[in-house]
Amino acid sequence: MLKAPQKPEAPKAAKKPYQATHHGITFDDPYFWLKDPGYPDVKDEEILDYLKRENTYFESVMNEHKPLTDALFEEIKGRVKEDDESVPWFDGAFEYRWAFAKGAEYRAWYRRPREGGDWATLLDENAEAEGQEFFKLGGMAVSPCGRYLAFSSDTNGSERFTVRVRDLESGDLLADEILETSGELVWATDGSGFFYVKVSREWRPYLVNFHALGADDDRKVFEEENTSFFVHIRRTSSRSHLVIRTADHVTAENHVLALDDLSAEPQMIRARETGHDYTVDHDGAGHFYIRSNGEQKNFSIYMAAETNPADWQLLLAGDDKLYLTGMQSFDGFLAVEEKQDGLDQIRLLFTDGTSRHIEMPEPVYEVGLGTNAEFSQRHVRLGYSSLVTPPSVFDYDLTSESLTLRKEQEIPSGYDKNGYASERLMVTVRDGVQVPVSLVYKKGWQKGAQLHLYGYGAYGLGMSPSFSSARLSLLDRGFAYAIAHIRGGDELGYGWYEDGKLEKRTNTFNDFVDVARYLESEGYAAKGGISISGGSAGGELMGAVTNQAPELFKAVVLHVPFVDVLNTMLDADLPLTPIEWPEWGNPIEDRAAFETIQSYCPYTNIEAKEYPPMLVTGGLNDPRVTYWEPAKWTAKLRDMKTDDNLLMMKINMGAGHGGKSGRFERFHEVAEEYTFLLMAFDLI
């Protein structure tokens, strides 16, 4: 096992008395003090000092291997086309594209007249990011008249976006500036202003406003008072309506507003019913499309007239094997994203009642709808990749019924997909369920060599068998890379998600452990020869499985890990807690939920035993998984574990949930993770 160095000595956090009692059950938490009561403003010097000491320790340990980290960084960077650009797309009177200049960390966005001509810069993210430690573009939208660009940006990773407006004729910024938004923007048809969503101090998107250009006061359009619901907005594909969606993880309510009638009030499609999730689009001819799980958990698609949106007529029904995951409306047809027996498909459903599937070039892949900006376009743009095929853009022509490759991600340093192979395994876990596993490796890889296993398993977010150019750095060094499609995701349908949440949450952890045991028992990995990683809820997974079966794992990487589940779900003042109760349960009101969460919560269940080497990351400004979760996990684990294996934590002091923001900057963190894995397997 990878041992901690004698010097420098790992930092230790102070232990301070703290007790809490719920449902007559009392528990101690000596590291509760690491949560700054002033959050999101973290100013407590003792807390900041501890985080800085952990960062210093991380840097001192990793510094010995800096040449390898630098080499990995250059290797990963070398697989990125520095002067990359998108496939252009038409939208109204203009053609658009984005491009990276050589060496640039961020995109620049361009447009030109539809009939051709010189490209003009819409927005240069590099200029906006200048002087900032962090930069993220939230949203951007050109007014219908083509003159104004509204855009939103976040400069500290807190996901609180500031909206500004640029006059594209003069190039000047207008005085209009809106703080504390979610970043989403939708223009009114007449271009007089736009809709946006405000976030609360606790970072809950809750209020839809309309901002008229040049106005001092904005008009309230919709406000959600239920703190467990978040509000989002978008424009229908037909561009006729604003859709206001308010939802938690399992229940939704949608309101629509005609974008050419700013005096109108939002119209509800159907009132919220617990457990009923639905989305809305528009056919451009007086009808709404609704994708709903009200009658079938794998969703069905309905149509309703604008004049009677509560009367839904069935168009396409899901079933136990057919899972309808998304849709987009076009003039004359509806494109449907679906999974058939877990495999991605694109179905085109025409207004004459006929339908067809788009055939894909490989048997196992991921595919989804791409940039389809125009309602009237006669092609469907798709995003595609597989474990061995780099991200690609295809256009499907409706007239010729043919698929044309518009772009495949270029690997400048060289890549031959024929040198790699992939497999799909089905693993029978402890309760008899079969769990899919995707496996990729360089040809010549031998069973029993090093293997890395990745998992997530939450929120119904399935992990697709997709390509990663960075991953090649592991494959080329003799690793196989596996993805465990465990319950809690939706790879095999909505029921796959339901079987990994609430009182069934432990299925997710058991699936992952049983997959690891299978890979070991079948000789895919040597005994104790599997490294693992996961982020956010996948970081919770890492903590839980390491508590359950630490002997299985060679090394563990927990990125922004949601490991303090019990304390977080008991804190109703945190922005993400009320909306998370349908996912995890409400331990404040429900004793059974309290006991279930307490039984698996990674932080709560740290024990005095041996743990594998571990790398933990976090972000000081992260509003999703607050910084104190990885900090408390690291502090408690370092105090209680009985081994001398390496335990490191790195907290990004100027970033949030996604880490660093630049396209090359983030590769430093990948290179650090891979260095840690190579250290653990003694491959340095």
- What's the N-to-C CA distance of the chain in angstroms? 14
Structure tokens at 218: 């904005």
Residue pair 395/380 in contact (Cβ under 8 Å)? The answer is yes
Strand (E) positions, 62-218? Answer: 89-91, 94-99, 108-113, 120-124, 136-142, 148-154, 161-167, 173-187, 193-199, 205-212
Give dist(CA 307, CA 304) in Å, integer: 8
Secondary structure class of 635 (helix, strand, coil): helix
The H or E element containing residue 474 is: helix 472-475
521 is catalytic: no
Residues facing 369 on adjacent strands: 382
Sign of CA dihedral 536, 541, 547, 552: negative
Give dist(CA 136, CA 118) in Å, integer: 27
Single out the catalytic residue among 154, 622, 661, 668.
622
Residue pair 104/126 in contact (Cβ under 8 Å)? The answer is yes
Single out the catalytic residue among 182, 386, 533, 536.
536
Burial of 48 (0-12, 13-18, 19+ CB in 10 A): middle
The H or E element containing residue 548 is: helix 537-548
Single out the catalytic residue among 249, 287, 452, 657.
657
What are the C-alpha distances in Å from 134 to residues 93, 198, 205, 539, 670? 34, 21, 22, 23, 17
514 is catalytic: no
Give dist(CA 459, CA 487) in Å, integer: 10
What backbone torsions phi and psi does residue 611 show, to the nearest 5 degrees? -125, 155
Q: Tokens 């951007």 label which residue?
A: 140
Sign of CA dihedral 369, 373, 375, 381: negative
Give dist(CA 40, CA 33) in Å, integer: 15
Listed as own residue / partner, the contacts of 224-227 with beta carbons closer than 8 Å and 24 or more positions apart are: 226/578, 227/572, 227/578, 227/579
Secondary structure class of 668 (helix, strand, coil): helix
Burial 520-544 (b: 16+ CB within 10 A, else e): beeebbeeebbbbbbbbbbbbbbbb
Give dist(CA 457, CA 497) in Å, integer: 8
86 is catalytic: no
Three-state SS across 360-408?
CCCCCCEEEECCCCCCCCCEEEEEEECCCCCCEEEEEECCCCEEEEEEE
Please give the distance of CA 656 from its chain centroid, rounded to a whole number: 13
Query: Looking at the annotation, which residues are catalytic?
Result: 536, 622, 657
